[in-house]
Amino acid sequence: MKKLFIVTTFLFLAACGKKDGGSAADKFLADYTAIKDKLCACADKDCASKAKAEADAHEKSDAGKKLTKEDEKKIGAAFEKVEDQINECAAKHGAE
């Protein structure tokens, strides 16, 4: 719950912006999804632990500073789904 609050607050406080033809929200979510894909493709705990750490760092990074309330609404459910998948894949490899 604390993690969700941090993410929500992080996204809430972010500012608006576009990058590479897509919104900052799209890029933030795409990067997080790419990390999830890397983690779920891991074959061992070491790989999964490194990818999980990368996911945690991305979640706390400055990547979402350009997000608006609209962006938060746009990616909110998708972000939570990817986060759940990250946690499932990490648990599968014992990389909590």
What's the confidence (pLDDT) of residue 51? 95
What's the confidence (pLDDT) of residue 38? 96
CA dihedral over 6, 7, 12, 17, signed as positive or negative:
positive
Domain span holding position 57: 2-92
pTM above 0.85, yes or no: no
- Cα three-residue angle 89-2-94, rounded to 5 degrees: 25
pLDDT tens-digit readout, 30-80? 999 999 999 999 999 999 999 999 999 988 887 666 677 888 888 889 999
Q: How many domains does the chain have?
A: 1
